[in-house]
């Protein structure tokens, strides 16, 4: 009896550690049998290029969700970054000035959300929903509802260029992931993020500056959204006030699928990486199978529900 229970626990631990990887491998095997195009080098690079934006957003979202929060404003921040960059480039400003102004504006939204949540005590859902609405309105007012065409070749190379055969957006995503992994695993700030999400009151009593930690995660999330907005506008050669709509859903889905607890304190960046890759492979697979993008959104919604239910089940079994 004890041996059976031990084997069940081992199987459960293996499933928890490698379940997502097994899902991804299974998806790849099935699609390689269904489509001759799926495993080609061109399609693999295309998948990685497509997931780069969501991957960067999901990295920032991981910091926020690890504290038990959520950031609904990232899609609007993408749009704000996009229109400011497009406008400044059209007016002839240099690339450093353009990037500094557009990313700086995005960081202000992170500060705005962080102050409302960490210092004013608003729930993250309400604060970031307000930031989302304000950001989208700002993008529309700033651009008068019209896109800015971008002709700056160096800027466009951020989204369309490549280095040693690998698209620049993939390189940017890799650097963001590497920096985030180091911060979460090896820095005091990373330990504070986990401690804060695990037990807010205990963190406060132990002397941690929980307000600064919480606010910083929203600034990180906005910075990642600014990078995503830069890549998107460079790729489509246009600063669109409607850019980024629904991007927060994909980012949250990637983090949830990756096993990060929506109540905070539990999760790993490796899970988030598998999460956004699974979403990217799923979207690519459905596209290759000529499935409408509308149905893809429905599938993503059900995936979020499934991931959260699995999170709840894991907590109950742990208790």
Residue 316: pLDDT band by 50, 70, 90 thresholds? low
Kindly state the average pLDDT of the residues 127-147.
94
Give me the pLDDT at residue 317, please: 56
Residue pLDDT, tens place only, 25-65: 888 898 888 888 888 888 999 999 999 999 999 999 999 99
Question: What is the rounded average pLDDT for all residues in the chain?
Answer: 87
| Torsion over CA: 200, 301, 285, 78 (sign) | negative
Tokens 């993250």 belong to 124
Beta-bridge partners for 51: none
Using the predicted structure, report yes or no on whether residue 1 has a pLDDT greater than 70: no
Kindly state the average pLDDT of the residues 183-200.
89
Q: State whether CATH 1.20.950 applies to domain 38-318.
A: no
Task: Give the long-range contacts of residues 17-25, CB within 8 A, separation 24 or more.
Answer: 20/257, 20/258, 20/259, 20/271, 20/274, 20/275, 20/278, 21/274, 23/278, 24/274, 24/277, 24/278, 24/281
pTM reported for the whole predicted model: 0.89
Residue 315: pLDDT band by 50, 70, 90 thresholds? low
Q: Residue 196 and residue 32: Cα distance in Å, rounded?
A: 43
Burial class (CB in 10 A: 0-12, 13-18, 19+), 97: exposed
Residue 206: pLDDT band by 50, 70, 90 thresholds? confident
Residue 253: pLDDT band by 50, 70, 90 thresholds? confident
Give me the pLDDT at residue 296, please: 75
Kindly state the average pLDDT of the residues 100-104.
95
Kindly state the average pLDDT of the residues 121-137.
95
Cβ-count burial 261-295 (b if 16+ within 10 Å, e if not):
bbebbbbbbebbbbbbbbbbbbbbbbeeeeeeeee
The full set of domain ranges for the chain reads: 38-318
Please state, for a pLDDT cut of 70, what percent of the chain lies above it.
90
Kindly state the average pLDDT of the residues 220-242.
95
Q: Which residue has the higher pLDDT, 64 or 14?
A: 64
Q: Give the residue among 126, 46, 76 at the shortest CA–CA distance from 228.
A: 76
Dig out the tokens for 314 from the structure.
């894991």
């Amino acid at each position: 009896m004890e041996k059976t229970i031990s084997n069940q626990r081992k199987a459960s631990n293996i499933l928890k550690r490698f379940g997502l990887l097994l899902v991804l491998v299974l998806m790849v095997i099935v699609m390689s049998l269904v489509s001759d195009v799926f495993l080609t080098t061109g399609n693999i690079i295309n998948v990685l290029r497509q997931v780069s934006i969501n991957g960067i957003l999901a990295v920032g979202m991981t910091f926020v969700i690890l504290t038990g929060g959520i950031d609904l404003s990232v899609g609007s921040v993408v749009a704000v970054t996009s229109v400011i960059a497009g406008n400044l480039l059209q007016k002839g400003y240099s690339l450093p000035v353009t990037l500094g102004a557009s990313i700086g504006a995005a960081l202000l939204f992170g500060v705005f959300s962080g102050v409302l949540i960490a210092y004013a005590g608003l729930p993250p859902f309400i604060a970031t929903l307000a930031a989302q609405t304000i950001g989208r309105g700002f993008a529309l007012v700033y651009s008068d509802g019209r896109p800015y065409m971008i002709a700056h070749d160096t800027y466009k190379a951020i989204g369309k260029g490549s280095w040693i055969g690998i698209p620049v957006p993939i390189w940017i995503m890799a650097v963001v992931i590497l920096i985030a992994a180091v911060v979460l695993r090896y820095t005091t700030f990373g330990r504070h993020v986990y401690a804060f999400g695990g037990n807010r009151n205990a963190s406060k009593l132990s002397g941690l500056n929980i307000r600064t930690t919480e606010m910083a995660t929203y600034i990180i999330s906005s910075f990642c959204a600014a990078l995503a907005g830069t890549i998107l506008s460079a790729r489509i050669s246009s600063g669109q006030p409607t850019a980024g709509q629904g991007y927060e859903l994909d980012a949250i889905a990637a983090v949830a699928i990756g096993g990060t607890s929506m109540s905070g304190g539990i999760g790993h960046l490796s899970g988030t990486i598998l999460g956004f890759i699974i979403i990217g492979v799923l979207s690519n697979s459905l596209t290759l199978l000529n499935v409408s993008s509308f149905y893809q959104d429905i599938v993503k919604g059900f995936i979020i529900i499934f991931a959260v239910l699995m999170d709840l089940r894991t907590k109950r079994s742990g208790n």
